[in-house]
Amino acid sequence: MPAPYFNLIINTVPVLAVLYILYISGSTILLILFILIYAYFLKSTFSIRGMGTHINRIIGAMENNDMDSAKKYTSMVVRRSTDKMDSHHIASAAIETIAEGFVDGYLTPLFFYAFFGLAGAMVAKVVNTMDSNVAYRDNTHYEFGRCTAIGDSITNFVSSRMAPVIFRISAFILGIKYIKTRIANTTDSLNAGYSMGAMAEILGIKLEKSGEYIINSEANYPDVRNIKDALKIYYASSLLSIFIFVIPVMVVLFVLHLFIVL
Q: What is the DSSP string of 119-171?
A: HHHHHHHHHHHHHHHHTTS-STTHHHHHHHHHHHHHHTHHHHHHHHHHHHHHH
**Is residue 10 included in any domain, yes or no?**
no
CA dist 56 and 147 (Å) reads: 33
Q: What total number of domains does the chain contain?
A: 1
Say which residues have a Cβ less than 8 Å from residue 155's Cβ, sequence separation at least 6.
104, 108, 112, 123, 124, 127, 128
**Residue 226 neighbours by CB under 8 Å, 6+ apart:** 91, 95, 203, 205
State the virtual CA torsion across 109, 112, 253, 243 in degrees, nearest 10.
30
Is residue 27 domain-resident? Answer: no
User: Whole-prediction pTM value?
Assistant: 0.80
Residue 17 lies in a domain: no
Count Cα neighbours of 173 within 13 Å in the Cβ-side half-sphere. Answer: 14
Domain that holds residue 194: 45-261
Measured CA to CA, the distance from residue 13 to residue 15 in angstroms comes to 5
What is the reported pLDDT for 140? 59
pLDDT of residue 150: 82
Instruction: Confirm whether 1 is domain-assigned.
Output: no
Q: Amino acid identity, residue 184?
A: A
* Segments in the chain below pLDDT 70: 1-46, 131-146, 184-185, 257, 261-262
CA dist list (Å): 199 to 7, 34, 74: 37, 39, 18
Question: Using CA atoms, how far apart are residues 77 and 81, in angstroms rounded to an integer?
Answer: 11
d(CA 75, CA 86): 13
Q: Is residue 112 part of a domain?
A: yes
Q: Which of 93, 79, 196 is nearest to 136 (CA)?
A: 79
| Residue 123, pLDDT score | 86
Q: Is residue 37 part of a domain?
A: no
Distance (Å, whole) CA 79 – CA 70 = 15
Q: How many C-beta atoms surround the C-beta of residue 144 within 10 A? A: 15
* pLDDT for the residue 3: 42
CA dihedral in degrees (241, 195, 178, 67; nearest 10)? 110
- 12 belongs to a structural domain: no
Please tell me the distance from the alpha carbon of residue 236 to that of residue 189, in angstroms, as a whole number: 25
Residue 135 is predicted with a pLDDT of 53
Q: Is residue 21 part of a domain?
A: no
pLDDT at 25: 60
Identify the pLDDT of residue 228: 97
